[in-house]
Structure 1
Amino acid sequence: MSQMFEDGEAERISVRYDGPAVDHSSMDVRLVAPSLLALADLFAVAHSELGPTLTPPPRLEIIGQRSGSLIIDMLLAAESTLVDLLNHERATAVANGLALSAPVIGAITWVVHRKRMGRESGIEPVGSDIIRVTWPDGTTLLVPVGSQALIERMDFNRTAVRVFEPLREDGIDEVELNTTRSGRAIRASVRRDDLAGFNLPPGSDLVLSDGTRTVTVRIESLPLKMGNKWRVHDGLASLWATLDDVAFAQLMEAGSERFGVDDRLVVLMRDRQLRSGDGVGESWEHSILKVIEHKSAPPPDELPFDDE
């Protein structure tokens, strides 16, 4: 048994295809159908990353079509069972899991910016659920916190490129996703040249391994500003790691957490091994996904010394 939640528990999304091929507000179903199916898959990927555990992914429903380019309106609606509806906590969790369109569109916009301007130079929290992404030329982008988790998932990027597959066809110049959040329009616009940003094009680094571990690290040097990498020692070697725990970064900015060299952190660390596109070299990328515990280094007068 399935049931759509009432008002406020479904998200409205529109996708717009633009270009000479849709001047008459029509498009070959063999192009648009796979794109919309991929969009449903994209929200399933986002739900698996950001939504409540043990809940089915939301369903995407077409609710209408407007003229002018080709604009298709859709609803992203929660799937629930009779048990869910009788359990208030469970129903609330499923409904909260619908807040997917904003982080999905934010992640897509982030990929487009990265493709056009290169790698970002900094990431910092702004408020409780927004992060600011900065590029070397000073360009900034505000996106929901969940966008960061999505942009790093290869299956999200690989699915997104299928959503924008119509751009490979002559006469389709732009695909745009739209939604609203707190009364504000949120939009992601993708053009043909942006497609390579969602995939590993020839010559890009190849991911050889991608895993996480819980480990205690010792701080060897602190970043001069938020968004820069930390130098830590994991007991085996020194390494540079990004701090991707936004909630912990907020505590740092608020002054609730203070650090010093030789402090120890129990963290969930992500390690990625990469091979260069030319196959010549390999490298590692490390990121701190979550700070589990912070252990301050003892002051100098409390350090243990061997008896002389």
Structure 2
Amino acid sequence: MSDTTEFRVTYDGPALENHEMDPRELAPALLAMADLLDASAKVLYGDKAKVNVNVKGSFKTGSFNVDFVTGVKWLQSVRDIFAGSEATATANASAILGALGVLGKTGLIPLLKWLRARPITQVELTDPVGRDRPRARIYVGNDFYDTEGATVDLLRDVGVRKAMERVLAPLETSGIDVVALGQGSSVNITVDAGDLPSFVSPVAENLRHAPISGARWSARLWA
């Protein structure tokens, strides 16, 4: 569908084998996903980017799938900002999901799994700001991780980090072992209960002082 972008979040584990999930656990996670998309859109595209999210439930043995549909209000706001074609707006919507790691392989979720709560020692902008999608290299000692610059902006945003933590909060429940994200039946990345320490949101002061070299960038240059 040209006016929507869809993705799926699956909560999996023995507690869900009857295709049921406690609404006291599910509702906050669903609200957190909406908050995560809103916060990410604001970081990447400014105040005019507003995500319109619809949810539809689907089920399979031993899991609880939630299909999210991002609606035309969000895509139209991106079209307004960039005055581009519908195809360009759709690409920018997908870019938010890519920067989060819901789509693609180097977004925020895989980055946090790689970091494993280790302190970052340096962030370098590895491609010029003038490029369509500048990239960054994140160092932990001698180890490094290459990602898009937009992912660094999400990493440094308190609202994004707190919402991400709440999306994964059902993993704290006994019998819910895995959260999988992707599109339809295709799983792009999984987070299990053992990964939770990697997703604890840091205090704002620590995020503001993360070391960056090469340039101090604005994500709005990277659409």
TM norm. shorter chain > 0.5: yes
Q: Which residue of 2 aligns with 1:108?
A: 109
Distance change >3 Å, CA 191–CA 117, structure 1 → 2: farther
Which is richer in helix? 2
Distance change >3 Å, CA 193–CA 116, structure 1 → 2: farther
Q: Which residue of 1 aligns with 2:213?
A: 243
Deviation at 1:199, TM superposition (A): 3.0
Q: Which residue of 2 aligns with 1:10?
A: 4
Q: Which residue of 2 aligns with 1:57?
A: 50
CA contact (8 A) 1:80 1:94 kept: no
Distance change >3 Å, CA 123–CA 62, structure 1 → 2: same
2: CA distance between counterparts of 1:109 and 1:41?
A: 20
Q: Does 1:70 align with 2:64?
A: yes
1: CA distance between counterparts of 2:160 and 2:98?
A: 15
Distance change >3 Å, CA 116–CA 197, structure 1 → 2: closer
SS at structure 2 position matched to 1:103: helix
Q: Which residue of 1 aligns with 2:18?
A: 24
Distance change >3 Å, CA 178–CA 117, structure 1 → 2: farther
Q: 1:48 aligns with which of 32, 35, 42?
A: 42
Q: 1:98 aligns with which of 93, 96, 115?
A: 93
Q: Which residue of 2 aligns with 1:192?
A: 193
* Pairing of 1:78-157 with structure 2 (within 5 A): 78-79=72-73, 89=83, 92=86, 95=90, 97-99=92-94, 100-105=96-101, 106-115=107-116, 119=120, 123=124, 125=126, 128-129=132-133, 130-131=135-136, 133=138, 141=145, 143-157=147-161
Which is richer in strand? 1
Deviation at 1:186, TM superposition (A): 7.0
1: CA distance between counterparts of 2:147 and 2:211?
A: 22
Distance change >3 Å, CA 87–CA 115, structure 1 → 2: closer
* Pairing of 1:199-218 with structure 2 (within 5 A): 199=200, 207=205, 210=208
Q: Which residue of 2 aligns with 1:262?
A: none
Q: What RMSD over aligned residues (CA atoms) do the two structures have, in Å?
A: 4.0
2: CA distance between counterparts of 1:84 and 1:148?
A: 21
* Pairing of 1:257-296 with structure 2 (within 5 A): 288-289=216-217
How many residues are aligned here? 205
Tell me the alpha carbon deviations over residues 157-211 of structure 1, each in whole angstroms, 9 at most, x when there is no partner.
Answer: 111111111111111111122149xxxx67332222333333357xxx7728949
Question: Bigger relative contact order, structure 1 or 2, given CA contacts below 8 A and separation 6+?
Answer: 2
CA contact (8 A) 1:123 1:131 kept: yes
Deviation at 1:30, TM superposition (A): 1.6
Distance change >3 Å, CA 81–CA 207, structure 1 → 2: closer
1: CA distance between counterparts of 2:167 and 2:198?
A: 13
Q: Counterpart amino acid of 1:104?
A: L
Tell me the alpha carbon deviations over residues 194-243 of structure 1, each in whole angstroms, 9 at most, x when there is no partner.
Answer: 33333357xxx7728949xxxxxxxxxxxxxxxxxxxxxxxxxxxx9622
Percentage identity across aligned positions? 19
1: CA distance between counterparts of 2:150 and 2:23?
A: 32
Distance change >3 Å, CA 141–CA 17, structure 1 → 2: farther
2: CA distance between counterparts of 1:152 and 1:87?
A: 23
Deviation at 1:141, TM superposition (A): 4.8
Tell me the alpha carbon deviations over residues 235-266 of structure 1, each in whole angstroms, 9 at most, x when there is no partner.
Answer: xxxxx962254xxxxxxxxxxxxxxxxxxxxx
CA contact (8 A) 2:48 2:77 kept: no
TM-score (norm 1): 0.54
